[in-house]
Structure 1
């Protein structure tokens, strides 16, 4: 076989105007013809017992340009096999054909396949080229039979190798430069699906996956034809010519189509690997347990599923609780649960109930688990029910080359980065929502910041935010580029620059800190090198100077007690013991605990609520006429509220010191360790908020967990800090707690503040 003659034939095919599919077919025909002649010249086919077998792309008849040929020379202990092999391989090498070759008996091939997963899957594509066809048939049948018998035991290895490949190569969907072969959702994943189907563990891929395969092959074919070399990563530069050859309007249309195909394949592989995995067993081989995660949501084995008593048709917020639980635990949502929710879950009415809004905040603040949760909802149409606006940015490729992701993935990744910054702002719930929506205006013929501000305001109103909060979210979206552009393009020490930025944010320090965190999250989610120490320093300097201009903080001391609660405090002062009042509205419980002024109240009450797995939404501590009252609103994480009589009895015992809270809380924390993303706790001090020279406000921003308020109250007590009033807000996975404190003895000096801050941060860590 003359190398020049073959290269000339290949070049003629590449230069022709045949389509991608026809080019692959022509390459297969060309190489089969040449290999047939080479095999005959080497003596393959001169007698029985020797066969030339194709695997890989040639075996599947989907050979793309510049691919190596995967060939196996199979023999039945032929005495002259070494001579035949040399006569076959050397002319192919001389012709500069890339080879991945082996010489084996059927038994040797099966033995290698039993130890090497890649070989086992490759033999499933075995196709006869030359020589003894019966020998090829025997090998192919034996390889398929061996795979069917052993595939289930090899599934853990297959799943692990697939996930390692995903980690190395990224994913096709929502990537600006996808790896068509090895990326998640690429051609190698279609091979995984074929192998699972060949083992009769899953159905054969359907029409959607067939179309995805054709698109991936066509793009790979045209990419290699364009570059005249073996390359499988589609860059933005190369995507234009490839798109033109395939008849797409531009590279952005191709990228959007390719992202959709990658999502279909990636999701199918993920579902298939989970469906075929060995289900976890409980003790003594029992069926997997159902661990409660939220109201109506359980962890069944390794998947998030609906509880047996859940009624999706009557619970519109159940969808969000399922998604939040999946994101929080990093466990996938079961396919059956997604199907049930898609068929039965009703629409959330405008405005959303507070519980649904809280679940959304928890979902957005879950960290990396948000990516898979949103993908699962999006693939089943559930995400579009929550955010109909999402369709305009789904799979939308970025126009700027610095972006690594499609617009929809960038938005979700920005929320992931924002979850790490929730302790830097006083309104983490608004930060997370603004992160999700900051580029929602892209993909339309308008300024995306202005349009995004209008869209985000509509979303914020729909989910039930107040007017001021709607304005904050809309303002953050409208001005999400303000700090980065100003800090890197203007003199941040120029008074006019500072005044302009302060005026743009309306002299609102809450919006200013939202923009600072959003700027960082947006940059980190854009691509490598977009958030540098230099840029961070410039933005921080700009914000610091603006803070000196902007006045106010954004929180107020709690309101005075109403008449009924003042009466409860008076009763506690008169009796000298704790008094408790419990009311409920559905699953939301309001607990008022009153005690004489000298009684420690915050830690005991917070501890009892934590023991009953009651999630504290707000807590207010107020003094009145020789006594004090703590007002807590809370709801059970799952199940029903505790018996009021039991709760009242334990609260009274805890306030009197008769309940051993420390050991019980420690045990509860061990059993229910939080899986939320760990944002570093932060303490801020505000001297001007109390109106007194001996009292200061300490604000704690931290990730919520069972027993946190109890631990913080204990830390304040250990530092001899008297809590004059307290105001606690739980916002999804984050808390923003304010305490007006003063030293019981000594002076309010820097040393005392440092001791208090260290103790509070240690309690919140």
Structure 2
């Protein structure tokens, strides 16, 4: 059989398995590839003369483990007992593989050489644990395999530090599979390399053999990797969202979100097993001091046993439902992991807390949630042992639930825990820190269902509050925090907070409750910080803080402080535009918008305020947003006001990358755009073409809100895919249909945007017919196809 014949046969296997559905197809494909490669290698080895005594061809890696996935390299070892003609024999085996285009990692070793290399190189030692006979002298392969494993059992303890540090470096490079939008199935934390690490520790008798949960996770990771490579027809282990949709369908899962959830659960099981295995291995005799570690009491029934939290002698988990919470709180506050034996004992005998919870249990829960960074591993340990769901049965709905918005870094359950970590830093800013921590834990508990997660979360929280034994008033307050946890950020980033109607609506929604307002303010910051980097910006912090300040003032009965309509400079700019009959612009750049919180936001954030002016009757918002988009500026807000015979627009924007554009260039481009000498439509189309290859499929929806703007204006809210020039096209459509824009806000959500406009007709009232025409025009502008070049 020739090399190309092997590749052709492998390709036929891939084609033949293309129509299979479900995970059995991936398993069958791997088995078929193993059989094919073994058959071909056996034939090639026999032709090269490997069939004699003292020479053997063996496989390691994926072929050695019988886990060969498509387009994998083949790892081979040619073993011999001292023959001198091995050079030609080895080339007779390797060359056909090279000629075929199959990647080959090969070596030629005597038994002593194999053991010597394995003794010096940890990676080689771990790789040789998978040694499996292919052709030739089977007894030789068996002797080397046994010798390698025996040597590994003797030497593995000293290799533990290198194994652990190597794994941590790999995790830093590849990230966590559970939290990645493009997980690395092989190298990521909780991936196949970590499964191999567990196998190596078990082979050294430093850890138990992988559990059934880890075994199932291994198969899922392999199935996904198999289908990913079969689809791409190349060796790739990064699963991007577009391929995830295809792989999910082939494995019989509903969609890529179902696949992400399955991968999250699998990888977290593997990652936790690795943490436990490395921790247990380092405590075994020969890896640390043989002195019995001290037992230091840290709570009732809980001790710090060496570097781990454990049960005290005499602790009775079967009769003490709160013991689980005390163990977790001790772990979180000391940053010491919970001993595996303790988790096992609690899982086997700890009862569910009685309803309602006693006050001591609630206090311990508050201490746990407020522990800071130590909360994350403590909850992970309880969750993996099945104890966290026993305390909070509602957790099952969000466990490993992937986020629907790309802006989110974490799965929903991890996001809730991370929000508690962030909220713990803000407990001194509120009068009820206990309710803030509980709200952080529960604010997204309603996600994962086809309904408004805030409303559902509020109802779920009311039930949880009753079970926890909160008073009826505290339970209602906690449920209100969860129900309204998006009110402040949505209002601040999508409405004009300078309008009294906007502030009044927020105050009325909160029934004038100052405590509820302060809890929502703290939760808004914690939620944003726990969402992902760059979400809690100085701009957002300033807007939310200003909205809260205006709400407080209204709750105290103070008169509404309306923003100054025009500064002297703006009046001068408007007068100049009227005088010359052309567009005018003034640019001011603000570095790192200030907030009340010193720990706030990215200090490098750049906000640029651009003031535009045109004579009355000329278009302002469309050319202004177009010019800013042309210069890669992201518009955050716009306020348009009339003065005398002119119109002034104040737009706040930030650079998509780099710094703000040259003010002279902006002024010149705006004047030419207003005069019709700059074809913004063509220039933006050209800019969009450069990004058309990665643009998402256009989709959009329009919502209307009454009584959220002053006078006769109504609020039109466009939800669409973020695209260059979108705001310009929508503003142009509003102009063309006679809509006057009082203000506009733009909020980005990962790959999507929410653009809000307070609009009114130039004549008459905003009746149903006018709204329908305007809605059609806005949707057409948002859904316009991305221009493509020739």
TM-score by length of 1: 0.68
Q: Secondary structure at the match of 1:507?
A: coil
Match of 1:61 in 2: 66
**5+ unaligned residues in a row in structure 1: which ranges?**
554-678, 683-765
| Cα distance change of structure 1 residues 371 and 175 upon mapping to structure 2, 3 Å threshold | farther
Tell me, in whole angstroms, the C-alpha distance in 1 between the residues paired with 2:228 and 2:168: 26
Residue 510 and residue 86 in structure 1: after superposition, are their counterparts in 2 closer, same or farther (change >3 A)?
same
Contact 1:312 1:341 in 2 (8 A): yes
Residue 44 of structure 1: how far off its partner (Å)? 4.3
Question: In the alignment, which residue of structure 2 is the partner of 1:457?
Answer: 462
Q: How far off is 1:416 after superposition?
A: 1.8
* Partner SS for 2:531: coil
Q: Is 1:281–1:287's contact at 8 Å kept on the other side of the alignment?
A: no
Map 1:4-19 to 2 at 5 A: 4-17=4-17, 18=20, 19=25
Distance 1:33 1:283 in 2: 47
1:251 is the counterpart of 2:256: yes
CA–CA distance in structure 2, aligned partners of residues 527 and 6 of structure 1: 47
Contact 2:51 2:137 in 1 (8 A): no
2:483 corresponds to: 478
Aligned residues: 556
Of the candidates 151, 157, 163, which is equivalent to residue 158 of structure 1? 163
Structure 1 residue 550 corresponds to structure 2 residue 555:
yes
In structure 2, which of residues 131, 149, 162 is the aligned counterpart of residue 144 of structure 1?
149
Offset, 1:437: 0.3
Residue 538 (str. 1) matches residue 543 (str. 2): yes
Contact 1:44 1:52 in 2 (8 A): no
The question of 1:187 aligning with 2:197 is answered: no
Match of 2:37 in 1: 31
Which SS does the other structure have where 1:72 is aligned? strand
Seen in structure 2, the aligned counterparts of structure 1 residues 56 and 345 have a Cα distance that, compared at 3 Å, is: same
Summarize deviations over 1:203-222 as a string: whole Å, max 9, x none.
43343333222222111111
**Helix, strand or coil at the partner of 2:56:** strand
1:646-657 counterparts in 2 under 5 A? none
**Match of residue 393 from structure 1:** 398
Tell me whether 1:286 sits opposite 2:283 in the alignment: no
TM-score by length of 2: 0.66
Paired position in structure 2 for 1:236: 241
Cα shift readout 1:496-555 (whole Å, capped 9, x = no counterpart): 2222222222333332232222222222322343333333333233223333323399xx
Q: How far off its partner does 1:67 sit?
A: 1.2
Distance 1:521 1:235 in 2: 29
Moved more, 61-70 or 251-260: 251-260
Q: For residues 255 and 284 of structure 1, what CA distance do their matches in structure 2 show? A: 42
Question: What's the offset of the Cα at 1:87?
Answer: 4.0
What residue in structure 2 maps to residue 424 of structure 1?
A: 429
Q: 1:552 to 1:77 in 2, by over 3 A?
A: farther
State the 1:289 CA deviation: 0.1
Q: What's the secondary structure of 2:69's corresponding residue?
A: coil
User: CA separation in 1, counterparts of 2:383 and 2:288?
Assistant: 36
Alignment check: 8 A CA contact 2:206 2:284 kept = no
Q: Which residue of 1 aligns with 2:135?
A: 130
Distance 1:488 1:156, change over 3 A: same
Q: Deviations over 1:194-242 (max 9, x none)?
A: 2222223344334333322222211111111122222223333222211
Q: What residue number does 2:611 align with?
A: none
Contact 1:280 1:288 (C-alpha < 8 Å) held by counterparts: no
> Within 5 A, what are the aligned runs for 1:663-702?
none
**Distance in 2, Cα, partners of 1:279 & 1:28:** 37
* Aligned-residue offset at 1:64: 0.4
Does the C-alpha gap of structure 1 residues 431 and 5 become closer, same or farther in structure 2, counting only changes over 3 Å? same
Distance 1:387 1:106, change over 3 A: same
Q: Give the 5 Å matches for 1:37-436.
A: 37-41=43-47, 43-45=48-50, 47-173=52-178, 176-278=181-283, 286-436=291-441
1:436 is displaced (CA, Å) by 0.6
Determine the structure 1 residue equivalent to 2:716. Answer: none
Alignment of 1:563-578 (within 5 A): none
CA contact (8 A) 1:499 1:549 kept: yes
The change in CA–CA distance for 1:552 and 1:275 in structure 2 (over 3 A counts) is farther
Contact 1:176 1:405 (8 Å CA) reproduced = no
| Residues 440, 160 of structure 1: alpha-carbon distance in 2 compared, 3 angstrom cutoff | same
**2:498 paired with 1:497:** no
Matches within 5 A, 1:502-541: 502-541=507-546
Distance in 2 (alpha carbons) for counterparts of 1:221 and 1:337: 38
C-alpha spacing 1:209/1:491, structure 2 compared with 1 (3 Å) = same
Matched residue SS, 1:201: coil
Alpha-carbon distance between aligned partners in 1 of 2:162 and 2:288, rounded to the nearest angstrom: 24
